[in-house]
Amino acid sequence: KGGRGGAGGAAPVVTATAARKPIPLVIDAIGLIESMRSASIRSQVTGTLFRIAIKEGQDVKAGDLLFELDPRPLQNALQTAQSDLRKLRVQLEYAQGQVARYQALSAEQMVSREQYQKIQDDARALEAQVASSEALLANAKLQLEYSAIKAPVGGRTGNLFVHEGDLIRANDQTRSEEHTSELQSLR
């Protein structure tokens, strides 16, 4: 009759072979985690927040789209810059043709030297305007690229302080709490 309580019977014994294997270590604790590096995201152009492409706490890689501003005003500025450049190139082409004609006439002394010099100066001024217009076009393209705000580093997104439809101002630091999102590195 064995043991206490008179249950009578043998107690079962289980055996196993000892083995080495990793056991996860989990410690529940209250605390604050701070990333090793973080990036505050600010827009480089002013516009209406068109789309939020991420969620709070999402892991992202460098170059991933985070936010998109309404690109239409920037596309219009780009088209205007392209049109202005085309117009100036046509004017420059005409001026260069005038220089070639007046060069032949000046060689035969059919026009005054001052007239020929004025035509050359006008052509050089148009060349400078074309170069300036090309720079404006490059800037308009860059501004359009800035309407897509991308992750500068890989990591995990923090709190989003913006909503679709918000007006986002370029490099706004006075209300940075409302217009930034922190991207926290996992490394």
The model's pLDDT over 58-87, given as tens digits with 9 standing for 90+, comes to: 999 999 999 999 999 999 999 999 999 999
Q: What distances in angstroms separate CA 166 from CA 25, 67, 110, 175, one per listed residue?
A: 44, 12, 66, 13
Of 9-13, 92-96, 140-144, 150-154, where does mean pLDDT reach its minimum? 9-13
Dump the DSSP string for 12-28: P----------------
Check the CA dihedral 111-113-114-117 and report its sign. positive
Residue closest to 180 by CA, chosen among 166, 64, 37, 59: 166
Q: How high is the pLDDT of residue 174?
A: 55
Q: Which amino acid does the sequence have at 136?
A: L
Q: Which strands sit side by side in the sheet containing 59-60, from one edge to the other?
A: 38-40, 181-184, 155-160, 59-60
Residue 90 confidence (pLDDT) above 80: yes
pTM > 0.85 = no
| Separation of alpha carbons 179 and 158, rounded Å | 13
Residue 182 confidence (pLDDT) above 60: no
